Amino acid sequence: MPPAVLARLEAEFDVVRGETVPEGVEGLFITPRSKMTAAAIAALPASVKIIATFSVGYDHIDVPAANRRGIIVTNTPDVLTDATADIALLLLLAASRRAREGEAMVREGTWVGWNPMQLIGWQITGRRLGIVGMGRIGQALAHRARACGMQIHYYNRTRLAESEEAGAVYHASLDSLLGVSDYLSLHAPSTAETNKLLSAARIAQLPKGAIVVNTARGNLVDDDALIAALQSGHLAAAGLDVFTGEPDLDARYRSLPNVFPLPHLGSATIETRTAMGMRALDNLAAVLNGKPALHPVQV
């Protein structure tokens, strides 16, 4: 926990740590590693009023089960936009320039010197970036990619205002976007509708040699389909910060040289994690003082 968050937590609240929740506890301060299933929520004492998660995502919480018990669930939106967009751009560049293979060559001592065709990658300038989900993070990535000379295309449930598009090309369907995406970056939430959104059929619609980036949630991708496309060469590479079942990701990703993987670092800056923690504590303080939650999760 960031030091400033921990200091405030201990100064403002009576903190009880442990795997079980004793009677009298009114609020839970959790991270995505805490799986709040329907059974776990049913076992909570009647005193619990709020579950405040140290995250924007809340797929580790059975929100309907909490709501049925009158427990408010809150998250930490709007504070990790820049950090996550930075990681998305890092993944895009690293996958494009074969950074994983290059680092391994240097670390393992197999680099024998400069060669005209050694680890040839792909330049992003002038290439088409397709963004799935043009919310705050999608727009922040578009801003960064535009500065690199990329052409921005996007698919969103609703079209942005012209001033927000900043020249980006809107696609009314995901299928339309896929065909023009040299690079595809996923920024949609994890829902029943987006589960395995990037299926084998949709991957096949991407141009040969396309690169996929995912900083959203692992389950947006059909792992078997993505791995098959990376192995066959239909996709040139992928940059992945999230995985289904993480940290127990599909072992095949570890052995693919054209996958640049990160361990869910999207929000991992001290500035962002501190802001996230403070936002979670703001929600706790509000509810425990009889005020409305600042960022209640609505499902």
* Distance (Å) of CA 156 to CA 134, 165, 216: 6, 11, 14
- Nearest Cα residue to 103 out of 263, 260, 209, 227: 260
Task: Give catalytic status of residue 217 as yes or no.
Answer: yes
What are the structure tokens assigned to 215, written together?
A: 């900083």
* Distance (Å) of CA 150 to CA 54, 89, 159, 181, 182: 33, 12, 20, 11, 10
- Nearest Cα residue to 149 out of 231, 89, 102, 222: 89
Residues 71, 197: Cα–Cα separation, whole Å: 31
Work out the widest C-alpha separation in the chain, in whole angstroms: 68
Catalytic option among 8, 144, 246, 252: 246
Catalytic option among 98, 202, 217, 295: 217
Catalytic option among 127, 264, 273, 295: 264
Residues 142, 179: Cα–Cα separation, whole Å: 18
Residues 180, 170: Cα–Cα separation, whole Å: 12
What are the structure tokens assigned to 104, written together?
A: 């391994």
Give residue 57's Cα distance to chain centre.
8
Task: Give catalytic status of residue 107 as yes or no.
Answer: no
Residues 275, 29: Cα–Cα separation, whole Å: 15
What are the structure tokens assigned to 285, written together?
A: 């303080």
DSSP 78-138: TSSHHHHHHHHHHHHHHHHTTHHHHHHHHHTT---S--TTTT-----TT-EEEEE--SHHH
Active centre residues (catalytic): 217, 246, 264
